[in-house]
Amino acid sequence: MSDHHDLLLHYNGWLFWREASDDEKTRQLSYQRSIAERAVARFGEAVFVSELAMVAPDALALGARSCVAAHAYLTGTIDAGDDCTINVFSVVRGRVTLGDGVRIGAHTSILGFNHSMEPDRPVFRQPIVERGIVIGDDVWIGSNALILDGVTVGSHAVIAAGAVVTRDVAEWAIVGGNPARFLRDRRVPKAPEPRGGLARRLADFADRARADADAIIERSWEPDALSADGESPGRYVDAPGARASLRPHADAVEIGMLLSGRPPRQLEAAEHARRLRQNQDPVTGLTAEVDSAGRHGTAPTGFTDGAAQYHVLSLGYALDLLGSSLEHPIGAVARMTQADIIEFCETQPWASAGWSSGAAIDSLGTSLFRNLARDGDDRSARRNLDTLIGWLHTHASRDTGMWSAARPSDGLLQPVNGFYRASRGTFAQFGLPIPNAERVIDTVFDQLADDRHFGPGRTTACTMLDVAHPLWLTRHTGHRREEVHAFAAESIDQILGHWAPGAGFGFRFSPTSGPNAVDHLPGLQGTEMWLATLWYLADLLGISESLGYRPRGVHRPEPAHDLGG
């Protein structure tokens, strides 16, 4: 592998054919041919076998897009279908047949052979018995599971992490324990935990989070680095070793105020505010992102830079929490006419990038809020806000409630995430009702059914917040209430399991095999967003008081500005 990838692709084989160099791809095909020279072997399209794995079969078949990660151990006669993943340190030996879409977690053993144990001789001299193991399609096998010889696992089953499977597993069954026992049918929704029990778990979690708050912020503080002005000592980064950026400082303030009721201890409140306010361009009112050295960037020339737009949210709300504010109005928006507002909305790339389009609307709405908060009688800002809200009302789909449409490549991800951003900065921020609320709920549930975006290694703080918040905004309708409650309870359970003591939340759920990417590791952004998401989910169930906190910054549930009727 190249220096750029280090060992990443050996441990994440599903990325290989997308990210490997041409030389690496040629080497991989050569390696597969060398296996075929030693054994009867057949490899489908886009198969990856790590050279760090021990692959010594008598016969091997790997269907299209299947992969074998580093340190796996394969011997015997193995026949795997398409889209199978044998993760790191997994052992697959003997006579083993896998259907399509079998995902095998790290450190799992699937042993399609056994010793006999007659008393007439030592065990190591006993003959080998090989009945074989057959695993159907669409089976998820959790990390550290053990499946013994002679077992058949039906299609669509789930083997819980650490399970010891000694008997056949029926189709759609979820099994766990030692020996593994039937837990429930995968097609039957999990019975929700009683709210009292879930409320106690939330309260216990919040106590732990508050106790960890200082440590979480401290681990992202670089005392020996200079801040953006190049003179002041110390700066915040998202996580240890992350690149310099302005948002982490705002996230640190949000976390400190949320969990401890005070600014982070590294700086006095006035110094926090000074640093968050500095380098705001007095003409555009925007704050540029820092450069690669962590120093102040060049002033924006207009309301087009996405990072600078987001600073209106992140820096502005952090300053609110500190009892301060941005020094200048958002001039780039103050100079817009109603025609400019309409043009801004209509020239967003809604068809190809609904998410970024919604983010631009969020920043526009928040800029109007900032200008109105400075001058409540700013008639131009109020007219522009009315124009923006009117455009959104008339352009929301009556079928989906969204401002953009699904795409084949990622389904409803762009429309739903874009909806959250656009509605947050407009309807939610000004306390206005959402148009087509029931259709919004339906579309959110359609998005939740797309397992490309939800599950181990896939769920991010963005994708979860961007469905939780719209469901919370539309809760008054009562539409699909029981499904909303079930989703909220299940999601809380999943989120709580990803807390890292003393470090917080990673931005993305880790896969079952463990963290293998930067966004799986705890950081300030993930921690701030997941804490807010937990509150919204808990409030959907009526138990948010258990957390003992309420978002007050960029993710605050209350309107930020009263339009006065």
Residues serving a catalytic function are 115
* Residues 347, 60: Cα–Cα separation, whole Å: 54
Nearest to 319 by CA among 264, 374, 276, 377: 276
Q: Letter for the amino acid at 252? A: A
* Residues 217, 258: Cα–Cα separation, whole Å: 12
Tokens 């970024």 belong to residue: 356
Structure tokens at 273: 């505010």
Q: What are phi and psi of 329, to 5 degrees?
A: -65, 165
| 355 within 8 A of 348, measured Cβ to Cβ | no
| 286 within 8 A of 335, measured Cβ to Cβ | no
Strand order in the sheet with 140-141: 48-49, 67-68, 85-86, 103-104, 140-141, 158-159, 173-176, 181-185
Q: Is the previous residue joined to 559 through a cis bond, with omega within 30 degrees of 0?
A: no
Alpha carbon 157 to chain centroid distance? 25
The CA distances from residue 247 to 80, 192, 230, 239, in Å, are 46, 36, 17, 12
Length of the chain: 565
480 phi-psi bin (left φ>0, alpha ψ -120 to 50, beta other): left
Burial category of 31 from C-beta neighbours within 10 Å (exposed 0-12, middle 13-18, buried 19 and up): middle
Q: Letter for the amino acid at 267? A: L
Rg of the chain (C-alpha set): 27
* Residues 45, 336: Cα–Cα separation, whole Å: 54
* Residues 550, 16: Cα–Cα separation, whole Å: 43
